[in-house]
Amino acid sequence: MNKIIKVAILAGALVLIGFVSVRFYRSQVENTPSLLFTGNQFVGNIENGISEMKNFDCANCTKDPEELHIKMLSKLQAVEKNGLVDADAMRDMKTRYMAAYASKFYESCVCAFTKPWTFKDEQWRFDRTKWLLDMPNSLTPTAKVELEKIKQLENDYHSAVQIAYRRSFVGIEDAKRQIAQSRAYKQDKYLSHCASLVSSLESLPSSIHNSHYAYVQETIENMEMQIQVLERLNSDLKSKKKSQYDMSKVLQANYTRIYNDIATNMPKVRVAIDDYDTKAQATYGTKKDITSISGKVGSITQKFYSLPKPENE
């Protein structure tokens, strides 16, 4: 009987010791910081993602790293938000990941901009470039230089658009500069693949040429109208009688002012015609016949010099 009791007591003691041991082990595990228990798991997962991004192959521009980037951002944000990895380790991994991503992002940009593209479709790349450049501590010197090229491409695009839609003639030298710059943009290794921009740039010489010709025509037409006004004033002055002396003074003042304006602008009209005649073909690649315009200027000049000079001249 005593033997049975001893065996029972011993068995109970063993069970109790086992139970206490299990509870102690569980308490140690539960109270252990998640970093020690799961840190290697999450760190390893992120490190694998960094390596995957570093080794990402655009496969001759048939693949883009954005899908992988979105997955990695989700992982990084979840791990950081839940404090699953030490803050310093987390900061280091984010920096190394962004450096890897920036390099692959630049490669994908080169792919995108060496194929047909539109600003609307690719604007997100310019926005992403600005976002990356706002994190200089996460970029290698090489990545910074590469991303600055994408930033410069956006600047060049906007400059090219401004030139493409500047259609007014403001001077022959200005026209030459604008057309030369438009040609440079058309030949740019990236901008040359933006069809809508290239089309606008190609039409620039023709547009400025039309504006130039219209300017010459308008200049002559304005001069012609001034001559007509001057002729009417001269006729009115001849018909006035002595009793209308005050009115004659007004007419004479207007006649003098317009006559002097024409005398000042007449050489400018000749220069405008000569500029177009001698420089249009070389500047725009085309030129309109100006025989009728030149004839009109000759007629205007003849009429002007046939009119009397103002009395105070």
Q: Render pLDDT for 206-235 as a digit per residue (tens, 0 to 9).
A: 999 999 999 999 999 999 999 999 999 888
CB 135 within 8 A of CB 102: no
The mean pLDDT of 286-300, rounded to a whole number, is 90
pTM assigned to the model = 0.75
Rounded CA-CA distance 8/50 in Å is 60
| Cβ burial, residue 143 (10 Å; 0-12/13-18/19+) | buried
* The pLDDT value given to residue 59: 76
List, for residues 256-268, the tens digit of each pLDDT value.
999 999 999 888 8
* The pLDDT value given to residue 109: 96
* The pLDDT value given to residue 312: 65
Average pLDDT of the chain is: 85
Rounded CA-CA distance 175/208 in Å is 7
- In this prediction, residue 3 has a pLDDT band, given cuts at 50, 70 and 90, of low
Give CA torsion, residues 21, 24, 29, 30, to 10 deg.
Answer: 140
In whole angstroms, how far apart are CA 160 and each of 122, 182, 248? Answer: 16, 7, 57
Rounded CA-CA distance 47/286 in Å is 63
* The pLDDT value given to residue 244: 52
| Cβ burial, residue 104 (10 Å; 0-12/13-18/19+) | buried
For the cut 50, the answer to whether the pLDDT of residue 187 exceeds it is yes
* The pLDDT value given to residue 19: 47
Rounded CA-CA distance 166/185 in Å is 15
* The pLDDT value given to residue 70: 93
Comparing 121-130, 132-141, 246-255, 275-284, the range with the smallest average pLDDT is: 246-255
